[in-house]
């Protein structure tokens, strides 16, 4: 019994570094970033929450059932891909994963390309009233407000990509992250990133969350 107790203690101690990360100067909250998963059908997603914009249409925008379902499917898939990109970016910027500058820039540029008009095309008002969707009727008549949110997200992703490309010196306040090693036998490397990098990521994350507060059902 004593032998098993010692083994459990050793396993616990060895597992601790997996959760600490090796970021220098960054402090992240690792609650799961959630763009939305519409698999839960406990409530209809079009119910508005307090504080959301009031629908301005007095009628139901029509769209054929097939087209409505297809559009909901496309935007849910798009949101899951964006959520994955955000999670991988956060893991690198926070130091939980090794920092790969080229890959991080690629992720930020992907989010930029999937924002703005690329996001709007999957949100026709007629596809809102659907039990599989979490988009509320707040979108009805408030499309311009929604467009502004999509453009704000695109601008924030672009700013993040530009910040990721910077390699400041120590004198410029560089923050050093554990970088991806080149080769199996290579020593652990570090990468210099801008001290404002976390703020740029937070700006992008906040732009997404702000849009969720306005146009996403909170009853799921």
How confident is the prediction for the chain on average, in pLDDT? 81
Q: Which of 124, 90, 89 is nearest to 104 (CA)?
A: 89
Indicate the pLDDT class of residue 191, thresholds 50, 70 and 90: very high
Which homologous superfamily is 52-215 in? Cytochrome c/b562 (1.20.120.10)
3-state secondary structure of 177: strand
pLDDT band at 220 (very low <50, low <70, confident <90, very high): low
Q: For position 76, what pLDDT does the model report? A: 93
Q: What is residue 58's predicted lDDT score, i.e. its pLDDT? A: 74
In the chain, domain spans: 52-215
pLDDT digits (tens, 9 = 90+) for 73-114: 999 999 999 999 999 999 999 999 999 999 999 999 999 999
Q: Comparing 24-38, 144-158, 173-187, which segment has the lowest mean pLDDT?
A: 24-38
- Of 12 and 188, more confident: 188
Helix (H) or strand (E) holding 20: helix 17-20
CB contact at 8 A, 45 and 136: yes
What are 30-41's pLDDT values in tens digits?
A: 444 454 444 444
């Amino acid at each position: 019994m004593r032998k098993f107790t010692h083994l459990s203690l050793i396993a616990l101690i060895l597992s601790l570094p997996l959760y600490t990360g090796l970021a220098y100067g960054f402090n992240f909250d690792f609650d799961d970033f959630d763009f939305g998963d519409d698999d839960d059908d406990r409530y209809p997603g079009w119910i508005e929450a307090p504080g959301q914009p009031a629908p301005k249409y007095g009628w139901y925008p029509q769209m054929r059932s097939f087209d409505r379902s297809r559009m909901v499917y496309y935007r849910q898939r798009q949101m899951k891909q964006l959520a994955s990109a955000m999670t991988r970016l956060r893991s690198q910027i926070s130091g939980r994963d090794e920092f790969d500058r080229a890959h991080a820039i690629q992720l930020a540029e992907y989010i930029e390309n999937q924002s703005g008009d690329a996001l709007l095309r999957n949100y026709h008002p007629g596809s809102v009233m659907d039990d599989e969707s979490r988009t509320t009727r707040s979108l009805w008549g408030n499309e311009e407000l929604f467009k502004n949110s999509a453009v704000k997200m695109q601008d924030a992703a672009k700013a993040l990509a530009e910040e990721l490309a910077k390699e400041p010196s120590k004198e410029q306040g560089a923050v050093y992250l554990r970088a991806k090693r080149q080769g199996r036998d290579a020593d652990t490397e570090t990468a210099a990133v801008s001290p404002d990098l976390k703020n740029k990521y937070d700006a992008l994350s906040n732009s997404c969350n702000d849009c969720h507060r306005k146009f996403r059902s909170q009853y799921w």
